[in-house]
Amino acid sequence: MTKLQGRELYNSIGNPKRIVAPMVDQSELAWRILSRRYGATLCYTPMFHAKLFATSEKYRKDMWSELDGDDSKDRPLVVQFCANDPEYLLQAAKFVVGKCDAVDLNLGCPQGIAKKGGYGAFLMDDWDLIYKLINKLHTELEIPVTAKIRVYEDKQKTLDYAKMVLSAGAQFLTVHGRLREQKGQKTGLADWEILQYLRESLPKDTVFFANGNILYPEDITRCLTKVNCDAVMSAEGNLYNPGVFMKESADLEKQFPRVDQLLREYYEIVKECPGNASKIAMKSHFFKILRPFLPHHTDIRQQIATCTPKHKFEEIEQIVINVEKIVQEIFAKPDIEELDKITTGEQQLWGGAYKTIPYWRCQPYFRPVDGVTGDKRVTDALKQKEEGKTAEVVESTSTEQDKNNKRRAEEELDNESKKQSN
């Protein structure tokens, strides 16, 4: 087996542009198969715990099946691990050799469990350990290693960090343009400016993936253009609408699929997937697919809430059937063509534009905090920032004008004095 590196590795997997992000219990096999049908050209597995994967056969069976990494259904594929021990990381990675194209080290998880376990984004405080983890795989594993990081507030520190990760042996670098502190209610907007800075400052042959701020298919094109990255990764955008990976030229039915049709398609995939991971994740995916639909049909929400992995497929399918009946009734309305329209609003300060999408179609989720949705918080924050810049310019201009007026007054007084002297 030839161990490919960098650009050669990227070319060998087809130069993917649209990537399903590694997500805890969410980017499992069934979801990856579905996402590939909707435009994803590279997928990452969920974040696996390296020590558990290395030492627990039960954990491996729950997380991994004979169909994961299948040549015809699940490639190209990168398997992601969180770790803080190089030996356990290597042991875990050896289990997936031959079933993936690379192994990724998670350096971006900001959640409390990562802080408690000492992995993910909380390794940002220990560069020596990060180097050892990556370099262990780079020098001893038969397949390549990659890494996914977050940024610091300081651009130069982030650049130095990225260079260290690459020097340790990472063949792809994925950068999530948010700080470690930006999570949950503090998520905010990812910083494409720092992504652009890193792309321009790193060696030109670096394979660079950008992550953050993907709501609609056109945002992928914007990001590719703005950052000049090789590919764009999406996590939450993909979870609520797999169609986010469709090209802008694709039919709107694929960009914003009907929830009933997507739910049925996903459910049929889960039924064919071996192992436990896809079945365990199904309930969560049902909630996310149907997120805009459930406030209008709370009875469906209750049906999903009572489901467990122990339920038979026939029982779960009844939920799918109920959703199908409701949406079919909606599409039987005489004015459905008018009701089913998708409209695009004005361009926002963040560069894109929000869309108004019927609740029976998949769409982004703007998580509310204290009753204010994420899109409104971002817009207001950017307006305040813009107003602050304007105020600074006005103040600066006023100060400069004051200086000029003072200088002219002094010159006039000086000239007057000279005249009187003469």
Report how far apart, in Å, the C-alpha atoms of 383 and of each of 47, 205, 349, 350 are: 36, 37, 7, 10
Summarize the confidence of residues 64-80 as an average pLDDT: 97
Confidence check: pLDDT of 420 > 50: no
Q: Which residue has the tokens 């079945």?
A: 279
What residue segments make up the domains of the chain, in order of their start? 6-250
Q: Residues with Cβ < 8 Å from 111, sequence gap 6 or more?
A: 24, 120, 183
Q: Which residue has the tokens 């030839």?
A: 2
What is the set of active-site residues?
Answer: 109
Please answer whether residues 248 and 233 qualify as being in contact, where contact means their C-beta atoms are separated by less than 8 angstroms: no
**C-alpha atoms less than 13 angstroms from C-alpha of 211 in its C-beta half-sphere:** 26
Q: Over the chain, what is the mean pLDDT? A: 89
Confidence of residue 413 (pLDDT cuts 50, 70, 90): very low
Give the global pTM. Answer: 0.87
Three-state DSSP at 313 gives helix
- Kindly report the CATH number that applies to the domain delimited by 6-250: 3.20.20.70
**So what's the pLDDT on residue 350?**
77
- pLDDT tens per residue across span 277-334: 999 999 999 999 999 999 999 999 999 999 887 788 888 999 999 999 999 999 999 9
